Amino acid sequence: MPETYFRVRWPDGREQSCYSPSSVVAEYFKPDTEYVLQEFVGISETALAEASERVKQKFGYYCSSASDQLQQIRQTASRFEPSDRVTILQIHN
């Protein structure tokens, strides 16, 4: 369950490194791929929830960092239109 980072380019061109406690995000996102913002947020919710669940299975508690990351994604996404595009630039451990 290696922690994994995924680099995002927001619709305004700003880039952000996002954290996941599990490599499961690589099953949901593909590098060099654009997503409609609303879809990106939904996939992030699913992927980070699964990552946090994997932490719970291994350590007995959910990952607060995954929850914090999701909150940051939601907060940033709220500044854009649901139809705007987000690009996953890379995924790495």
pLDDT at 2: 87
Torsion of CA 4, 66, 55, 46, to 10 degrees: -90
pLDDT at 28: 97
Q: How many CB atoms lie within 10 A of CB 36?
A: 14
Give per-10-residue mean pLDDT for the chain (93 aa): 93 98 96 98 98 94 95 98 97 94
Burial of 70 per CB tally in 10 Å (0-12, 13-18, 19+): buried
Beta-bridged to residue 4, according to DSSP, are 20
- What SS3 class is residue 75? helix
